[in-house]
Amino acid sequence: MRWTRILTAFLVLVLLQAGVASAQTVLRIGLNDDPDALDPTISRAYVGRLVFAAFCDKLFDVTPDLKIVPQLATGYEWTAGGRSVVIKLRPGVKFHDGEPFNAEAVRFNIERHLSTPGSFRKSEIGEIKSVDVVNDLTVRFNLAEPLVPLIAALTDRAGMMISPKAARELGDRFGTRPVCAGPFKFVERVAQGKIVGEKFADYWDKANVHVDRIEFVPIIDSTARLANLRSGDLDMIERVSPTDLAQVRSDPKLKVVSVPELGYQMLPLNLNNGPRGKVLGADPRLRQAIDLAIDRETIIKTVFNNEYIPGNQFVSPVSPFYNAKFPVKKRDVARARQLLREAGQPNLAFTLIVPPERDRQEAALVIQAMLAEAGITMTIQTQENVTMLTAGRKGDFEAYFTFWSGRPDPDGNIFTFTTCNGAQNDSKYCNHDIDGILTRARHEPDAAERKKLYDQTTEIMLRDLPRLILWHRRIFTGHTIRLQGFTPHPDGIIRLKGLKLS
């Protein structure tokens, strides 16, 4: 019959499509979300940074213990009392399109970060007023004010260097096919599908790149992502959920590594952002009572399988800037009740906005029960993430449940949240002393002196409590045992150099 003949022909065609056997090593990494535009100037999604690690090298990088090390730049020196910094560049570096990396390219990139409308890097390096090309391999940034965290900012997207020629050619479309100077060259991106890169033959550190091809596959569902790792369709997955750890750990073909994150999970409290600020903003004792009624350790044990780290400050307890004089307080319901009585509100009631995400919803329920024991009625209002963030900006909240992914420099974890005009200060907390201290800390190059200033900050923060820091997550990365050479970093970014896949 004609049918059978057609079917047979089709099957033969399929079977003949033998995949070409190649000696290429391919590393497949599963991403939790789909990255946005792959343009360092306008990219804002965290997951985009993982992809940039393959394509775009930066001026500097950070080690796992947050020391700044050279990458495209070889060194830096503060001059003119901190008002300018001279950066020496690595010789012999090429962009993926063959263009040379030099001081002129650095100037182009910094000016692009500063002048592009909608640039997300402006707030990170906005203090740079001008860039001078000293010679081909030396560049000088002139600042309005000294800014110690600037170098740390250059270890992330603000320090990523793109090819000026490609930027001019592609214009607005650069984010669809990035051309940088990293270990891998962009090959293709299937929209909302995988992103593919191949080893860059002229990479300046090519001896350390042992993988020929890299594929990033966004898979939103965590169960599906885990299944891919177990079946071998993925070699690595990032930010494994604590509840999936047991499965990964019990599989002999897989391995989990973890590192404490740079950021924190928090409840910003409305102190003075519109009329709703009256609920919790009236008296710091109300906020202290809420803080004392929460048992962070129990929540971490029950909701997160004891995998997270309790926190109360804007840096985690493993950070050198943590103020050891103020460890996380133990729960004290009696004292909480007393504070509420003193403040004249023994039956405090407020609303916490929580996005519909399992981790935060469960934690919120436990917090609700704990607060009830202290006489506090907390109502949980579920709002989708974007709606919640918008409400936060507008002051349409009393408390909401969010997080900050963290920055290598402590300034990045507090300045914009706590200064009177800070862009991320939804609480509208305003303490001019704090403004002064934090501004001095940004200008202070000596680490010991900075620590003293941040210690002062922490003491005030724990008294005023414009936001409740709850815990610091651990970043879990799961990978096949065939992968060697992986060292986790606190920012969660997978560095690809040194990785070997057997």
Residues making contact with other proteins (CB under 8 A):
13-15, 17-19, 34, 36-37, 39, 42, 44-46, 117-120, 122-123, 172-173, 175-176, 190-194, 217-221, 223-224, 227-228, 230-234, 383-387, 389-390, 393, 404-405, 416, 423-424, 426
- Which amino acid is present at 53? A
**Does residue 471 contact residue 303 with C-beta atoms inside 8 Å?**
no
> C-beta of 192: minimal distance to other proteins in Å?
5
Residue 39 or 464: the one with the smaller Cβ distance to other proteins is 39
Nearer to other proteins, 109 or 119 (CB): 119
Q: How many CA atoms lie within 13 A of 452 on its CB side?
A: 6
Judging by beta carbons within 10 Å of its beta carbon (0-12, 13-18, 19+), is residue 60 exposed, middle or buried? Answer: buried
Instruction: Give me the least distance between CB of 125 and other proteins, in Å please.
Output: 12
Provide the phi-psi class of 80: left if phi over 0, else alpha when psi is between -120 and 50, else beta. left
The one-letter amino acid at 499: L
Q: What are phi and psi of 391, to 5 degrees?
A: -60, -40
Six-digit token string for 61? 């990088």
- Calculate the alpha carbon distances from 495 to 55, 149, 295, 417 in Å: 11, 22, 36, 29
Residue 223 or 484: the one with the smaller Cβ distance to other proteins is 223
Q: What does 318-362 look like in DSSP terms, one character per residue?
A: TSTT--TTSPPPPP-HHHHHHHHHHTT-TT-EEEEEE-S-HHHHH
CB of 262 to other proteins, least distance (A): 13
Using alpha carbons only, give the angle 70, 158, 447 rounded to the nearest 5 degrees: 60
Considering the complex, what minimum distance in angstroms separates the CB of residue 442 from other proteins?
17
Least distance between other proteins and beta carbon 121 (Å): 9
Under 8 Å between Cβ of 267 and 399: yes
- In the complex with other proteins, the residue whose CB is nearer, 92 or 118, is 118
Three-class SS string for 172-205? HHHHHCCCCCCCEEEEEECCCCCEEEEECCCCCC
Q: Quick one: 25 or 405, whose CB is closer to other proteins? A: 405
* Nearest-approach distance from CB 119 to other proteins, in angstroms: 7
Least distance CB 193 / other proteins (angstroms): 4
In degrees, to the nearest 5, what angle opens at C-alpha 306 toward C-alphas 303 and 308?
90
Sheet holding 84-89, edge to edge: 73-79, 84-89, 138-143, 128-135
Backbone angles phi, psi at 455, to 5 degrees: -60, -45
Of residues 79 and 123, the one with the C-beta less far from other proteins: 123
Question: Which is nearer to other proteins, 321 or 404 (by Cβ)?
Answer: 404
Which residues make Cβ contacts (< 8 Å) with residue 461, sequence separation at least 6? 313, 314, 418, 434
User: What's the min distance (Å) between Cβ of 44 and other proteins?
Assistant: 5
User: Residue 223 CB, nearest distance to other proteins (Å)?
Assistant: 6
Closest to other proteins by CB, 192 vs 502, is 192
Contact 149, 412 (CB under 8 A): yes
CB of 452 to other proteins, least distance (A): 29
**Closer residue to other proteins (CB): 294 or 353:** 353
85 vs 158, which CB is nearer to other proteins? 158
Give phi and psi for 11, each to the nearest 5.
-65, -40
- Gap between the terminal Cα atoms of the chain: 49
Closer to other proteins at the Cβ: 77 or 384? 384
